[in-house]
Amino acid sequence: MQTIEVKTRYTPAEYLALEEQAEFRSEYLDGEIIPMAGGSFNHNRIVNRVCAYLLNVLRGKSYEPFSSDVRVWIPKYRKFTYPDVMVVPDPPIPYENRTDTLTNPRLIIEVLSKSTEDYDQGNKFKFYRAIPELKEYLLIDQYALEVQHYVKSDDGFWLYRAYESLDDVITLTSIDTEITVARIYEGVAFSPDPLLPHDGEIEVQA
C-alpha cells in the first residue's frame, strides 16, 4: 500500500475509533496511521477466488478464512494491518473482545501490488513472523504467474518455495489442505509482455 508521512501520533484506541468512521482503510504502526491504496481488478479476483475456495474446502473443519475486512493486531510491533486473506483456527482470538480484529492467524495470504511488493516481502513479513500462531505465508503476484510460499518449520526456520506453473499444487500444511495455482489465477487477465507478440490481455483459464 502507498504511504504518506503522518506526524500526528495516535493510541491504538484512537486509531480504532477513527477507522470505524473512515471512508478508506488505514494501517497502524506504533502510533502512526498509514493510508492504504486501493485494489485492482486482478487483486480482487485473486482474493475472491482464494477466499471462496477456502470457505468451501474448510467447511466443517476447525479453521475459518477471513478476507481483508478483518484486521490483525501484532502486539510486538504495535501494528494493526489488514491481510488480504487469513485463516484462523477455532476458536478465533479477538483483540480486546472486538469483532473486527483478530490476533491468531495461522495462514496469511497477500496479493502483491507494485506499491506494496517490497513491503509485503520485507517489513510486513517481519511483522507477521512475530505472531506465534502463524505457520504459513503466501504471496501471490497479480501481474505474472508466480506464488511465493513460506512455511515455518518445527525448529522455527521459514522455508521458501516458488510456484510458476498452472499445474502446480500448493500444499498448505498449516491448515491441512491444498490449492492449485490454476485455482488461484482463474479468470485473472495478465497484461502481455511488451517484448512478446500478443494482442490484448492474456486471461488464465482454469
In CATH, what number is assigned to the domain containing residue 167?
3.90.1570.10
Q: 81-105, pLDDT tens digit by residue?
A: 999 999 999 999 999 999 999 999 9
Number of domains, the chain:
1
Is 168 a member of any domain?
yes
Q: 42-73, pLDDT tens digit by residue?
A: 999 999 999 999 999 999 999 999 998 999 99
pLDDT band for position 4 (cuts 50, 70, 90): very low
Is 32 a member of any domain?
no
Is 130 a member of any domain?
yes
Is 21 a member of any domain?
no
Is the full-model pTM beyond 0.75? yes
Is 139 a member of any domain?
yes
Question: Residue 108 and residue 159: Cα distance in Å, rounded?
Answer: 15
Could you list the residue range(s) of the whole structural domain that residue 100 is in? 39-72+84-203
Is 18 a member of any domain?
no
Is 13 a member of any domain?
no
Contacts 24+ apart (CB under 8 A), 19-25: 25/82
